[in-house]
Structure formats: structure tokens, C-alpha cells
Structure 1
Amino acid sequence: MSDTFTDATDATAATAPAAPGRRRSRTVLLAASVVVVGAIASAGALGLGGGDGEAPAAPPRAGSTVAVTRATLVERTKVEGTLGYGNEIPLPVKATGTVTWLPEAGATAERGDTLLRVDDRPVALLYGTLPMYRELGMTTGTATPEAPDTAPSTPPSAPPSTPPKQDGDKRPATTAPTIAPPRPLQGMDVLQFESNLAALGYTGFTVDEKFTSATERAVKRWQKSLDLPETGRIGLGDVVYASGRIRIGQAGVRLGAAAGENALTYTGTTRKVVVDASAEEAAWAVRGAEVTVGLPDGSPVKGRVASVGREATAPEGGAGGAAPTVPVTITVPDQRALGRLEGGPVTVEYVGRKREDVLTVPVAALVALAEGGHGLETPEGRFVAARTGLFADGMVEVSGPALGEGMKVRIPQ
């Protein structure tokens, strides 16, 4: 019958051709029908329409399915940092004279070690926070002349004179002034020094705020071990105080030059990381916050924010629009995890935002909806609208009235 119908149609078309106007009208109607059908099909596939968040089902397509899970998403960000020992600080060397020996850069020094030699005298390192500001030792007594038993009868206007004493002269002989015994020096700097002296093994005195004769004897024993004159006194430039073990930095003078406060620099012996963090994005830099330090070989090491600078500065040599930064210092508790690496570029990974107990799906499961926004496709081919939140580690936070934990969604191929 279809063949007959076709023939009849062809015959009619051959004998009675349609008017030009009617032929154009039919062509326009057919094209419009195709457009309407295509739009309806597209709307069904993309989830248009439907007030409950779901669209009419479309034929299922190939692709893997995953479940909507409830989890905690953590946003992690990496920034660049530098591993090292920190900024070098000048040692407060107060010795005066000619530098006759300097240590090598990178060497470590601890209590009692010689930092440098000035006029071939050692300048020793001691531990403490109070700087050396005076000489330490027993204070010198003052001379007090003894008054004679009877005052001379010389009139006040007569010039003083002492005629030679003759035989039988009854006047008292002139007496020499007496010297008071030395008195102990007192102060917190004495306590700090005596604590160091005792820690070096030179004891026999009470560690307190008084520099006594017992302290003096211990000092003489220490001076003897250093091949120094046994004076029992500590000069202003004989010692330098630091908070603990130090690492020698670059020397500020050469052998044969005059000593001074810039003769030698130092750092601590603990390796740390410094990050020049953007001042606008430094909210993560909170003292005590935990971070992960990525070493040049890719190994991760745990770190902790120790301090954050209070002043923002523009990067050196940067363009005029460069964002200001603040220095963030990060300590590494497990120094052994750093191996033998003493410096170099590293990465610091910190936690930015965190979303706990939220619905999540892989980012690849999201599809763009024609009306805007994102959605998820069910295994049956329906599209469900989904609001997105935090993106982290290939997952995304999703929410919506039609979404629930355990729901299956498709990942398009």
C-alpha cells in the first residue's frame, strides 16, 4: 500500500503542481516542526522544566555511576618558601684590638667555645639574654686615712708644713691610709655569669647575684685553662652572650682588621622555613597552625607556624603593582626528617577552608544545565539540579532538595 500511496502522490504532484506561495508555506512549517521537536528533546535531556528539581527521563547513556557521599572537604593551598637557618644577626663583640683568628662560616659553637680571638685573646660564648655591659670582679676597696689622736696646733692661716721630727719630739707620727677590703659585686649579670661558670664545671661558690672571692678563685681556674693571665676578673670584651648554641655566619672583618660589633654574624642551629606570604591572603598564618613542608625531593615534612611579621613590605625589585607580603616563619620539629639539607626552595601546603559533614561527589559528575547552574544525572537519565560549594581534592560539595546520601549519579564519558 505504501508503494501505491507514493505513486499517487507523485502523480498528483506531476499533474497539479502547487502554487509557489503554498510550496514555501509548507517548507516553513516543516522546518518549524523540526526546530520544535529538537528543542523538546534538548529540554528533556538537560532537565528543563519540573518544579521538584527533577526532569523527565531521557534514554540512559553509557558511563560509570558513583554514590553521593557525606564527608569533610578540606581546601589546601601551596605557596613557595625557603629553607634555611634564618637571618644572620651580628654578634655583640665588645673586644677591642686586632682580629687574629676567625671561625669558618657554618661552624657551630656552644657554651665555652671560642668565637674569635682579638689580640690573640679568646672571646668566649656564654648563654644568656642580658648583654655584657661591665667588667665583672671584686670591687676595689677605697682608701680611708686614719686621723691622728691629737690635731696639730697650726693656725688655720699658716701654710701646712711638716718639719722633720727631732729626737725627743712628742708629736704623733704620720700614719698611712688604710685600704678597705674588696666588696662583692652584685647584680643579675653576676648571676648569669656564675650560672655559666658552674655549667662549665668551675664550681666552689654559690650561684647568686654576688661576685665573691670564691667566684674569683673559680674565674682564675677558668682563665688558666684558657692560657690567660689569672686575674680573677672578666673584662667587657672577654665573653659574648647568646640564647643558646649558634651557627657562625659570614665574618664582617678580615684577619688583621680591628674588631667591632660587626666582626661576626650568627644564626640559630635549628633549620626553619620562611614564607613571604601575601598580606591579603595571610589569614592561614596563625601561630601554632600546622602545615606540610614539601622538600625538593618531594618528601613531606610536618611544620608549624612559629611567628608572623607585623609589617607588610613590597617585594624587592617587583613591579609597582606587586602585592605586599609579610614574613611567616615555620619551624620543623623533626629536624632529622630534613636530612642533610641546609637550605633551598621548598613548598608549604596549608589548610584554607574546611567543610565538615557535607554531601560530596566527584567534580567529573557535574553537568552544566541549559538554564544555568549545575546538575547531576541519575542512572535513569534524569537531571537533578545541584548547588555547588567547596571544591577540594577532586571532589565538590553539593546540595539540593532532591539530593541525598547514597543516591547514585552518573559520571558522563
Structure 2
Amino acid sequence: MASKRTLLVLPALGVTVIAVAAGTGMLGGADDTADVALAGPPATATVQKRTLTRTEKVGGDLGFGDTTDVPAPLTGGGMVTWLPGDGDVLERGDTVYRLDQRRVPLLYGTIPLYRTLSAGSEGADVRQLERNLRALGYTGFTVDADYTSSTAAAVRDWQDDLGRTETGRVGLGDAVVSSGARRVAEVTTQTGAAASGVLLRWTGTTRVVTVDLDTDYADLVRDGVTATVELPDGATVPATVTDIGTPTSREKGGATLPVELAVAEQQRLGRYQVATVQVVLAAETREDVLAVPVTALVARPGGGYAVTTGGDYLPVTTGLFSGGYVEISGDGVTEGLPVGVPE
């Protein structure tokens, strides 16, 4: 099966064809190419050591990553009386929604509220609650795995600030737990509706780039690999592969590999929130190779390429083409060698 990969730089670009000269007898024949004297080239370049990288450009999407559902409390009942707006960013302590005008705040952590916590409770979820209380400014207790009377006192202060009944206990549905700040992607219900099903969907607050990568290019990505993101206005920003998912089949055949890239310099993304972008991946890198501008190449009538130097044709073997340069090797090819190029 033929590879789907294509070079971004075409070897034929800028190459001077000397077959016409051979056809008129000026060169005498293909075997005499290296010995033919030429008029001085209009300009020269030198053979230099360079690092060349061949790239592949694939389509991607700039956004805030995957969405997560925020369901109504398992306790059920109540009416939705307030909701945030699309695009709102919610941080620790902010209200996620109101049920019967009762505020349900956001807490940070990894353990959802799956039981009622009160004096005498022990466990990692207690420590998580106490860390949130401390971060919100409540004191008088020790952050540990024990729910003490001091913890209950801090909870009552918190409940008072929320305008809720001061029970000193925290139960199911009293808060929504997430790993960090969240951005509202979509509100799926409305005020006045019964609290059931999914109330809203949210994402992280940091913009990321996602790519459904053709599996033919799977070898180009791994955790930590850097890439370049091209924005719609032509600006570029570096990105790093942070997550590689499991290949999924497409309806029209083939498979894609979900890839996520992080952008450390968020300010360079400008005002773009959601956009279609291009992602440039490094396909092959050759370090410290001898290279010349592609325009220095001359097509030999018998096949292959040469460069002009000192009034003579010097046959060369080409390697990687990248960014307007080409890797060359062969007898007489040395660093610093001057070669002819068009003006």
C-alpha cells in the first residue's frame, strides 16, 4: 500500500535542468557532466552543516478539551432556580447552580460527595473537605482525615456564608467536586425545570489543541513531543503532546488516533477560544548534515543532481529536503565549499 505521506518541500523546486545543454552537444554526454567548465554563477552559497527536519501538517482544533457532564444530585427533587452562563469560569467556592435557591458550590478534589460527613467521620474525603475549607479561608481545625467538632464548627460557618441551614454536616448534593476550575461549555436545562438528568457540561479552563490523527502518522507522536500550531491568522505557537488516546474507527474506513497537545504560552493564542488550526509534526530529523539551498541543485541529464563549484559540475547524492535546503553528499562535498545559486 502506498504511503499517505508527502513532503512539504518538493525536490524539483528551484532545480536547474541542464538536459537542454546536453541535447545541443554543449556537455558532450551524461558521463562528462563533472568535467564541463561553466560560466561563473550569478551568486554563490556555501555548503553548511545544518539540522534538517521533514514535517507533516495535519488538521486540528483549538478549544478547551473534552466536556464533562454535571448531573443533578442523586438525592433528587428540587427546582433549578439559577444557572451559570456558557463560557463562565467557575473556581473553588463559586456557585455551580441553585436548587430551590440553595447554592451548590464547587470544591476541588477527586472524591465526589458520596456519603454524609459529620463529627466522627474519617477518611480521605474528610481530608479533601478540610483542605477546601482551609483554602476558602475557614480556620480552627486541623487538616487531616478526622472530622472533629472543630471541623463541624468550620462547616457551620461555611453554611452560614452560603445562606444555608447550619447543620455542621455535609451530605450528598451539598457541593460539586472537580479537579480544578471549570469553564461552562453548555447549559442543558433551564431555570424553573425540575432538577434531573444533566444540568450542564463543562471543560477545563486552559486552551488545548486536539487532533484526530490518521494512524499512518502514529509514529510521529509520543508524550512530550513538540509540535507547531498554526493559527488562522498565520501566527504560530509551540505545543507539546500530553495525551494520546486509543485508536477509533471512522465511518468511511480507516482509524484515527486522538491526540491532545498543551500550549504553555497561552497568551500567544490571542483571542481565539475555539478555532480550526494546523499542527506541524516533525516526521524526520537529520542533525549536522551538509546542506545547500535547493536552488543550488542542477539536474543531470543522465539522472541525479550536481552542484556547480569552481566552474565545474560536482555530482552529489541528495538526502532530506526541508525548509528550502537539501542534504547533499559525495566526493568533494565538504563544509564551506562554495556552490552556485541563482540570484
Per the normalisation by structure 1, the TM-score is: 0.72
1:189 equivalent in alignment to 2:125: yes
Map 1:27-176 onto structure 2 (within 5 A). Answer: 41=25, 43-44=27-28, 47-49=30-32, 55-60=34-39, 63-94=42-73, 95-97=75-77, 98-138=79-119
1:250 equivalent in alignment to 2:186: yes
Structure 2's unaligned 5+ residue stretches are 1-21
Map 1:235-314 onto structure 2 (within 5 A). Answer: 235-314=171-250
Q: Based on CA coordinates, which of the two structures has the bigger radius of gyration? A: 1
- CA drift of 1:267 comes to 0.6
Look up the match of 2:263: 332
- CA drift of 1:379 comes to 4.0
- CA drift of 1:272 comes to 0.8
CA contact (8 A) 2:118 2:147 kept: yes
Alpha-carbon distance between aligned partners in 2 of 1:39 and 1:110, rounded to the nearest angstrom: 76
1:391 equivalent in alignment to 2:336: no
Alpha-carbon distance between aligned partners in 2 of 1:372 and 1:296, rounded to the nearest angstrom: 41
1:407 equivalent in alignment to 2:337: yes
CA contact (8 A) 1:90 1:264 kept: yes
Alpha-carbon distance between aligned partners in 1 of 2:23 and 2:233, rounded to the nearest angstrom: 55
Alpha-carbon distance between aligned partners in 2 of 1:105 and 1:402, rounded to the nearest angstrom: 66
Alpha-carbon distance between aligned partners in 2 of 1:235 and 1:62, rounded to the nearest angstrom: 84
Alpha-carbon distance between aligned partners in 1 of 2:160 and 2:48, rounded to the nearest angstrom: 76
- CA drift of 1:228 comes to 1.1
Question: Bigger shift: 387-396 or 284-293?
Answer: 284-293
Map 1:207-222 onto structure 2 (within 5 A). Answer: 207-222=143-158
CA contact (8 A) 1:313 1:326 kept: no
Aligned residues: 320
SS in 2 for 1:263: strand
- Percent identical pairs in the alignment equals 44
Q: Deviations over 1:99-123 (max 9, x none)?
A: 1211111111111111001122111
SS in 2 for 1:211: coil
SS in 2 for 1:48: helix
- CA drift of 1:307 comes to 0.9
Alpha-carbon distance between aligned partners in 1 of 2:307 and 2:328, rounded to the nearest angstrom: 10
Q: Deviations over 1:196-220 (max 9, x none)?
A: 1122122212222122222222211
Aligned partner letter, 1:375: A
CA contact (8 A) 2:41 2:341 kept: no
CA contact (8 A) 2:215 2:247 kept: no
Aligned partner letter, 1:371: G
TM-aligned CA distance change 1:93 to 1:132, over 3 Å: farther
CA contact (8 A) 1:48 1:370 kept: no
CA contact (8 A) 1:364 1:412 kept: yes
CA contact (8 A) 1:93 1:240 kept: no
Alpha-carbon distance between aligned partners in 2 of 1:339 and 1:208, rounded to the nearest angstrom: 42
SS in 2 for 1:235: coil
CA contact (8 A) 1:71 1:356 kept: yes
Q: Deviations over 1:136-195 (max 9, x none)?
A: 113xxxxxxxxxxxxxxxxxxxxxxxxxxxxxxxxxxxxxxxxxxxxx111211111111
SS in 2 for 1:66: strand
TM-aligned CA distance change 1:47 to 1:69, over 3 Å: farther
Look up the match of 2:6: none
Alpha-carbon distance between aligned partners in 2 of 1:364 and 1:82, rounded to the nearest angstrom: 36
Flag the structure with higher strand content.
2
Alpha-carbon distance between aligned partners in 2 of 1:253 and 1:309, rounded to the nearest angstrom: 31
CA contact (8 A) 1:47 1:384 kept: no
- CA drift of 1:64 comes to 2.8
CA contact (8 A) 2:45 2:339 kept: yes
Per the normalisation by structure 2, the TM-score is: 0.86
